[in-house]
Structure 1
Amino acid sequence: MTDTTTYTDTGTGDALVFLHGFCESKQVWEEFAKPLEQKFRIIALDLPGHGRHTSNLNSSTMSMEGMADHVKEQLDILGIRKCLMIGHSMGGYVTMAFAEKYSAMLTGICLFHSSALPDTDEKKENRNKTIDYVERHGVVNFINPFVEPLFYRENRERLQAEIELLKEIGRQTPQPAVLAALAAMRDRPDRSQVLADLKCPVLFLFGKDDGAVPLEKALEQCHLPNNSTVCFLGKTGHMGMFERTYETRKALEKFAETIYG
């Protein structure tokens, strides 16, 4: 039986399923998705190890594939047979793992500041350094300086409340979950071929000033799907749902309307 505290289910109509990123929770989508409830059924899930989903954690459930299986189980319980899946950052990695295993359930996907590509060797080494830091200094000391650089520098002052919200969510993520998620992101495979083989439409939302998904990596993948829509956002870092709420929501809404009619 599903834990009703680990998801929200609002609105009616065709389903949009929102997956959050690393050290986030379903809460990051709360205000962003609310206006979409007038047209769509909105499902936001806490991924394993995050938010209120902090039980039965191991390397299998915390892998991208394990998280995708968890999403599938929750959608089955909720009676969702088809959906448009939106994945932010790590949630996009989970979306790609889901697409590899359960593509027949997808009417479309949105990679929201995310990628089908694997970590580079440099990024893997940075993951290893972060794992070592979290093991030695703890989650709080990691999260406090981690969050603000996710935002474009000119957006940080006006979005202090959102930055503090993300820090609070991140600080509540259990250390074993943080470590397991870092290792899972480091070890995820290249799913660019999955992206190329997808039969459903794909929406890419990229920040031009996103240090986590650099512009050159965005350009490497956005041409791969047979049907893709790409939105590049200037003066935007990794957190477009906060930095460019109106533009990203409108892009997603238009994409969903194109799919569902």
Structure 2
Amino acid sequence: MLSPVKYQEKGKGFPLVFIHGYCESKEMWDDFVGELPDSYHILVPDLPGFGESPLPEGDFTIDDIAELLIEWIDSLNIKECILVGHSLGGYVALSMAKYNPDYIKGLCLFHSSVFPDDETKKETRNKTISFVEKNGVKVFADSFVQQLFYIGNREACSAAIEKTISIVSSASSNALIQYAKAMRDRYDRTDVLKQSGKPFLIIAGDNDIAVSVDKSKEMADISLNSTFVLLNETGHKGMFEKPVETQRAILKFVDSIVY
């Protein structure tokens, strides 16, 4: 049976899977992966419910989404890969690594976290749900996206901001609401860092309002095998704000594992 997960791909070689963030789509990675060498098999899926991938029926968890991505990877006859997960994509990648470790050779947490939402963050998720229910997706996109970029980068990243707003605006309100619930209720994944032994790359922005630098440093400290990269004057969108630095860091990480 064909997987419902839609994706883009390029290159041949060891598989690298790039997983996008909340209310986004595979197009978020277009420019970023376009600059990566074709000596790797780069796969960029739409998470179920975003882009061209259909939304699962009813409520679901991050673990449910991870299972769908593992089924997709398996349908492509991929036995091992490296995951690059941005924000929500990192939560999904961690679940994939926990329950299907044999598929995962390494994992990059790109502005993401192993820690569950604290009470303040849970309340923020609930406010997001209420806001989307009341105002709709377009108003949410207009208010949400720009703040994810460091203020000093917003002018230079204006095209990326507009592209992101357009992508977010095209998502369904049901997808935004169901994923907000799934993120709010997700489990602590520090055990994956502490016990898996997998190599991790942790990329953090010093002005990221979604994942604090302190939490990112804490992750690096508790990992058995991690590399920590801190991006200066960067918010939550290093793929746009610091593309060269993040591409270089990811390729160095990947090369250290594959070769």
Measured against the shorter chain, the TM-score band is: over 0.9
Structure 2: state its 5+ residue gaps: none
Within a 5 Å distance, the mapping from 1:122-137 to structure 2 comes to 122-137=120-135
Deviations 1:81-117 (A, max 9, x none): 1000000000000011111111111110000000000
Report what 1:19 is aligned to: 19
Matched residue of 1:134: which SS? helix
> What is the CA–CA distance in structure 1 between the aligned matches of 2:196 and 2:57, rounded to whole Å?
30
| Percent of matched pairs sharing the same residue | 41
Matched residue of 2:202: which SS? strand
- CA distance 1:127–1:56, change in 2 (3 Å): closer
Within a 5 Å distance, the mapping from 1:222-237 to structure 2 comes to 222-237=220-235
Which of 243, 246, 259 aligns to 1:245? It is: 243
Structure 1: state its 5+ residue gaps: none
Q: What's the TM-score, normalizing by structure 2?
A: 0.97
Superposition deviation, residue 195 in structure 1:
1.6
Report what 1:80 is aligned to: 78
Superposition deviation, residue 200 in structure 1:
1.5
> What is the CA–CA distance in structure 2 between the aligned matches of 1:242 and 1:188, rounded to whole Å?
27
Q: Work out whether residues 57 and 177 of structure 1, in 8 Å CA contact, stay in contact via their aligned partners in 2.
A: no
Counterpart amino acid of residue 48 in structure 1: P
Counterpart amino acid of residue 45 in structure 1: P
Within a 5 Å distance, the mapping from 1:1-261 to structure 2 comes to 1-2=1-2, 6-60=6-60, 63-261=61-259
Deviations 1:152-193 (A, max 9, x none): 001001111110110011011111110000000000011111
Counterpart amino acid of residue 33 in structure 1: V
Q: Give 4+ residue runs of structure 1 displaced > 3 Å after superposition.
A: 1-5
Q: What's the TM-score, normalizing by structure 1?
A: 0.96
Counterpart amino acid of residue 44 in structure 1: V
Number of matched residues? 259
Matched residue of 1:177: which SS? helix
Matched residue of 2:230: which SS? strand
**Cα RMSD (Å) of the superposition?**
1.3
> What is the CA–CA distance in structure 2 between the aligned matches of 1:155 and 1:231, rounded to whole Å?
19
